[in-house]
Structure 1
């Protein structure tokens, strides 16, 4: 038998080579394409594992803190800490730490906002006319925030520049309203409503006070920078330098007076500072807080608020670690005007503003400064008792959560809240020395409330303040993947990009950032960190409910978890369940999360900001799990589809070879060959070809994989031999059975049967349909191969759609879709091409079987063009049948893959089906071109 098989193969070398090439192409394609899908899966799982390494794996919040919106969409909103003040007790925190598997449990207690004055420098040097002995520079400020969209003008500030000497109150000596010592060695009384004002020394020796109206402004806390105005005195010395009292010049050092080459004054911007308490040891283990300290020292667990008495008052000082980045988008723009005739020295406060408005004015330039420069200027003095930095905690406010309205398209609209009562920021009774932020008068998104703190009596009010023990740089904290980042509001501000062209244009292509309004939608992270040990002393005696449950959230990192894997996910799940059971708190698993853009509409503000449509990065939970499961499903589906389409392609080729040998097999049957021997002959031939094709594929897989950038691997390459043999046997099984069971007289019957159920065709398309119906098995085989290719391409497109945003909608999903798109598209396109080749093979066999019919049609007057159109119609109908079936199969697979069937996928499937039809029509051109080579005369003679 083996000798006979060899002679059969050698005697029909052309047919044998054709089958060998078919098996070789199918086997090599299967090995390489499955290698591509495996390579893409490994790349995806590697990307997911590397990109989901985050600071913490579990987020624990107070019971009920998870909003219905978060629960419904499996999201954690940005700014989740901004409206969360307390709710977790220290006992619950201890229970979290005691849970088996917890590596780090880092608590954070959000305490509230206080206000601080940040000096913003403006350079007026070029506005000064050095030829004048006296002049006033008027500074008309314009306060700007939120990328310049919110702005408001403030009252003018005045700088009196004189060449006469100035004397200043001694800040290093005791002062009183009756006798305040000055730098000339004499004492002077305070000027009514002006306080200890500097005095100008006139040429005749007399001195006149230069009144500063800041000492007579309204109640602290109830006014903003917009209402403040001032007059400062500066001397232009003979050497060209500027000299002023303490705190006037931005470049000034400590002391009663200082000098500088530049006239840079500091205009105070009121900045809200959010104070939070952490466990320094846990925070250091979580993100490396101690290693990020750039000045001073880090917090220590035993850092507590110090209390001392000063007369009848109690002074409480809270040690803090301050950030070197203010994270507030606010700046000052100013227009300068020179008043050469103004003489403010000796003018009473009540007459001062009217006096400064009189006389000629000359434009003198413009200037600008921002809060970043002012904050860094404060830090430049260095952390020390005499340097940086300190501030007040007399009045603190807390902001509630943002309220959202859900629109029909899924967009969230921020609910507008009226501006808070200015009294919430403090007043004379709270002894808050700083005004409220000017942007606090804007329409907000959160409800503000004052933190209840101990007030004392009017005769002995307590004073609370903070002092920095160190400064840290958030940029030096342990870095984590941007794709798997979970909210770290302790150190990072929220930022929202414009989600439409109008919003992006309004923002100048930059993201919207916090503008300095505690009630605003976007809130700055804490600028001040203290230890949990300071919280009881700070809140004691005020009746705050946060005293008993100070912690706002606990961030938990699980031991032996460095990124998402199935083992890590199960380990984290078990720890999360234990925490929930032990504490009863809301527990979210953040392992495998990724930022997910969420469309948010922000209403217009009161200071000019238009309504904006923003894309905020919420944290989508469980992204890694969805991605890895989708990749696994997609890989299995592609494996099966590639294998099936290769088997169909080979089955069609073997069936054609057997059909071509009908007469020969009939003769063997007449000579007495049993059916099993005829079947064994067919299977022996295809098995031999499969074995040879497998060996050849073993050598071709490596260079082809290397050329395509696919890691084939020895194990997968060695599979080429059994796969080729199996494919050949499977493909030859049905033709072998048909050949064995065929009656010898079948060779005498026409090769193509009639289709009795088809009506007599009256059009070319109808004739094409009748021709396809005459060989239903062959038609179904060709269209089935094409259907599988279209289904594979639809499935790959659906996977990319799922990764890109329909299901996951995250940055990690976007990255994964890019990493898998190339290999998967290659596999899917190859299956479509194999399906198109199967269709072309069907058309070619139909032409061969109906050669006599086609010759007859040509003899009766049909042109080659008409015959080509007939074959083209057959190819088109085969393509439509296969493409529609493939699109339906692909949509079913897509629904299984992504867990739903978004409407956009239907359009994708229709597009892929159309492409499949076009490819099939192109493939039909090859067999149609063979019509011209039909020997019409010989075929008619034989017929």
Structure 2
């Protein structure tokens, strides 16, 4: 049989050459296109692998803390700073004890405090009355907020008793420090050991005689309802604010050159109301300007040099405000093609009985109580300073996750309230207001024990989890992450989100005006799209599989149509063999052997080409896949021969004396022209016509698709 096949090929050299051309087309096309596709797929996977790692794998939160934005798997960048507890120590310990959990690092947002320091001095040369105008400026990126207060000072007045009725504050002569200035900040409790393992906080802590990391000796002590807590301070402040002090002497002569009778006279005339009407002397006012950066620098210097002002006996600081989240509602996007995700912040009105100055805010005002009797009292003692730049965090903007413990969220002002573009966009900066839209990170870090002492049994706000053995982006890693997340939910009743493999998704947020204030406009922020890398990985896998299937299908149709054509060309030859005594099964076997020989040649050529890919490319194809691709060529020839093997059984010996084909179909149109004859011929042999159309359409469609990917998509097949 083999010699007969070879002799048949050799006698019909033209036909044999065409068969070899077909083998080369199938083998080179199959191997090259699939090899290139696999190499590109490897590139996609490698690029995703580079962005697979992030600061933490899973985030655990209390039930009911999901926002409306999470319906679309979007996590807002400000979510951590607004979580007010909800997780117990028992739940935290349960998560730590899970076998596959490598690190579980909790954060407890405790409450808002402030850090202040005095920078600079003013010299009072003469006794008398002075007007002190304090003007605060704050650049939010959207606008510069300005507020002014006026105080009156009595230089050289040795006051005793209550001085509030006079409207004047006593101050000594000579060099006196400027009023303290600083910024508000959140205090957060952490597990020092877990935080060191997660982000390397211990390595980012400055080492000096008066700066160190937390130790077991840093415990919380209570004295007269005041909790003394250890605090590790952030070196950076992030606020762009300043204050000016303007000193002017009032035109108010002293009575008998004495301060006491003059103060009594001022008090009789109305105190501050009277002083507001007095002019200043015709002298140049003395003005001083300090910034929050200067204050922070001085404060850090005092910590590192153990030169903070001494505290009086019974000193304490009140914690007044609790953490509060931002409420969003979905709105229609002004530009859906650019910002498909658009939300609006819901302003919150303040209780009329509240002591807060503002009457509306972007976060709900949540106070510890209505009076100072309900407010927790703390006395922080500073053990050290850390540099956030030295933390072991993901610096890739494509894999950044919210790390509000150390850095503020990012935002840009892109449109005003009238949807007019802001060109160029302005960076929005955190403010000195703990209930504003953009807040600064909790610069004061204390221990988890302090958090539970101050906030009670459910002090922990969020837990960031790293899972063991998650080094490579694949389906096994994804399944393991989902399994650990589910185990955490089942054992604790908390909610989880897999953050590993997430990436930023630009979202647009509209900031309406607060009470009696104009709207600020539209803010663009990189929100967190959960699971985007795995989604792209799955899409790439499906896309590449589709391309491979299309290439194999085109090759299969080509082989099938070629075999059908050869079957009709060799019909008389097969009829003669039947007349000589060959059985139809022998003819089918001969076709199968021919297909096996040609398919084996395709496999051999494909293995040579793909082997070259494997040796030279940076993204080698798996050896098993190379073997399967070669075998696919053999299967293509077998599949393309299956139908001709069935059709050959219908050939009769008498067809050896027939010439041409006898049309048995009816006419659809009159055969008065070449067009009419062609239509009738195509309609009569509709199966052959359909095969021809498929054989033309498939490779053409695949060719157009490759052109689209090459030129329109710049050679990268993507779907998201």
Please classify the TM superposition score into its range, dividing by the shorter chain length: 0.7 to 0.9
Structure 2 stretches of 5 or more lacking a match?
Answer: 123-129, 255-261, 334-340
| Matching residue of 2:464 | 555
Give yes or no for the alignment of 1:407 onto 2:370.
no
Q: Match of 2:510, SS?
A: strand
Q: Mapping of 1:887-902 within 5 angstroms?
A: none
The whole-number CA distance in structure 2 between the counterparts of 1:768 and 1:121 is 100
Residue in 1 aligned with 2:34?
Answer: 34
747 and 504 in structure 1: CA distance in 2 versus 1, 3 angstrom threshold? farther
Q: CA deviation at 1:110?
A: 0.9
Alpha-carbon contact 2:120-2:177 (below 8 Å) kept: no
Who is 2:6 aligned against? 6
Deviations 1:65-97 (A, max 9, x none): 234553x33443332222222222223333333
Could you give the per-residue CA deviations for residues 555-577 of structure 1, whole angstroms, max 9, x where no partner exists? Answer: 23333334554434444444434
Equivalent residue, structure 2, for 1:177: 159
Distance 1:557 1:547 in 2: 26
Whether contact under 8 Å (1:88, 1:550) holds in the other structure is yes
Cα distance between partner residues in 1 of 2:601 and 2:438: 68
**Counterparts in 2 of 1:720 and 1:397: CA distance versus 1, 3 Å:** closer
1:278 — aligned with what?
A: 190
Partner of 2:404: 489
Measured against aligned partners, the alpha-carbon deviations of 1:146-168 in whole angstroms (never above 9, x if no partner) come to: 2142433536899x9xxxxxxx9
Paired residue for 1:529?
445
Q: Deviations over 1:821-844 (max 9, x none)?
A: 84758xxxxxxxxxxxxxxxxxxx
Gaps of 5+ in 1: 125-135, 161-167, 170-174, 180-190, 200-244, 249-266, 426-439, 540-545, 801-816, 826-893, 899-943
**1:384, distance to aligned residue in structure 2 (A):** 4.0
Residue 451 (structure 1) shift: 2.0
SS at match of 1:380: helix
Q: Does 1:319 align with 2:233?
A: no
Aligned to 1:261: none
Q: CA deviation at 1:287?
A: 1.6
Is the 2:32–2:609 contact (alpha carbons within 8 Å) kept by the matching residues of 1?
A: no
Q: Which stretch has the larger CA shift, 676-685 or 26-35?
A: 676-685
User: For 1:294, what is the secondary structure of its paired residue?
Assistant: coil
C-alpha distance in structure 1 between counterparts of 2:527 and 2:134, whole Å: 40
Residue 66, structure 1, aligned to residue 72, structure 2: no
Conserved in 2, the CA contact under 8 Å of 1:278 and 1:531?
yes
Matching residue within 508, 513, 531 for 1:599: 508
Matched with 2:170 is: 195
The separation in 1 between residues aligned to 2:509 and 2:387, in whole angstroms, is 30
Structure 1 residues 4 and 91 mapped into 2: Cα distance closer, same or farther (>3 Å)? closer
Query: Structure 1, residues 124-154: CA drift from partner, whole Å, max 9, x if none?
Result: 9xxxxxxxxxxx9999957233214243353
Query: How far off is 1:690 after superposition?
Result: 3.6
Q: Classify 1:85/1:618 alpha carbon distance in 2 versus 1 (closer, same or farther; 3 Å).
A: same
Deviation of residue 530 (structure 1)? Answer: 0.8
Instruction: Determine if contact 2:323/2:366 at 8 Å carries over to the other structure.
Output: yes
Match of 2:125 in 1: none
CA distance in 2: counterparts of 1:506 and 1:50, whole angstroms: 34
Alpha-carbon distance in 1 for matches of 2:347, 2:227:
37
1:619 equivalent in alignment to 2:528: yes
Partner of residue 860, structure 1: none
Q: Aligned ranges for residues 559-598 of structure 1 at < 5 Å?
A: 559-562=468-471, 564-598=473-507
Verify the 8 A CA contact 1:21 1:693 in the aligned structure 2: no
Query: Which residue does the alignment assign to 1:144?
Result: 138
Contact residue 116 and residue 299 of structure 2 kept, 8 A: no
Determine the structure 1 residue equivalent to 2:212: 297
Aligned residue number for residue 257 of structure 2: none
The 5-angstrom pairing of residues 42-53 of structure 1 reads: 42-53=42-53
Distance 2:300 2:135 in 1: 24
Deviation at 1:497, TM superposition (A): 3.8
Distance 2:283 2:320 in 1: 45
Cα pair distance change 1:2/1:150, threshold 3 Å: same
Distance change in 2, residues 1:779/1:301 (3 Å): farther
- Maintained 8 Å contact 1:52/1:594: no
TM-superposed CA distance for 1:274, in Å, is 0.5
Residues 178 and 630 of structure 1, relative CA distance in 2, 3 Å threshold: closer
Q: 1:61 to 1:737 in 2, by over 3 A?
A: closer
**Alpha carbons 1:96, 1:105 under 8 Å: kept:** yes
| Equivalence map 1:737-886=2 (5 Å) | 737-739=646-648, 741-743=650-652, 744-745=654-655, 748=658, 750=660, 756=666, 758-760=668-670, 772-785=682-695, 788=698, 822=715
Change (3 A) 1:140 1:520: closer
Q: For residues 596 and 18 of structure 2, what CA distance do their matches in structure 1 show?
A: 14
Aligned-residue offset at 1:447: 1.1
SS at match of 2:604: helix
Q: CA deviation at 1:765?
A: 9.0
Aligned counterpart, 2:177:
247
**Correspondent of 2:382 among 464, 468, 472:** 468
- Summarize deviations over 1:29-49 as a string: whole Å, max 9, x none: 222333344444444445445
Flag the structure with higher helix content. Answer: 1
Choose which of 422, 427, 430 in structure 2 pairs with 1:514: 430
Q: Identify if the C-alpha distance between structure 1 residues 779 and 513 changes in structure 2 by more than 3 Å, giving closer, same or farther.
A: farther
Alignment root-mean-square deviation, CA: 4.9
Distance 1:706 1:781, change over 3 A: farther
Task: State the TM-score, normalizing by the size of structure 1.
Answer: 0.61
* Correspondent of 2:549 among 628, 633, 640: 640
The whole-number CA distance in structure 2 between the counterparts of 1:653 and 1:105 is 64
Alpha-carbon distance in 2 for matches of 1:710, 1:28: 19
Shift of 1:613: 2.9
Rate the CA distance shift 1:26–1:97 in 2: closer, same or farther, 3 A: same
Partner of 1:728: 637
Pair 1:353–1:634, CA change in 2 (3 A)? same
Deviations 1:509-551 (A, max 9, x none): 34433222222223322111111222455x3xxxxxx323222
Name the CA shift for 1:602/1:690 in 2 (closer, same or farther; >3 Å). same
Q: 1:642 to 1:151 in 2, by over 3 A?
A: same
Deviation at 1:756, TM superposition (A): 3.6
Give the 3 Å change call, closer, same or farther, for CA 823–415 of structure 1 in structure 2.
closer
Q: CA deviation at 1:290?
A: 0.8
| Among candidates 292, 304, 322, match of residue 383 of structure 1 | 304
Question: Secondary structure at the residue paired with 1:82?
Answer: helix
SS in 2 for 1:109: strand
SS of the aligned residue for 2:318 comes to: coil
- CA displacement at 1:646 relative to structure 2: 0.8
Distance in 1, matches of 2:235 and 2:678, equals: 78
Deviation at 1:463, TM superposition (A): 6.5
How far residue 591 of structure 1 moved from its aligned partner, in angstroms, is: 3.9
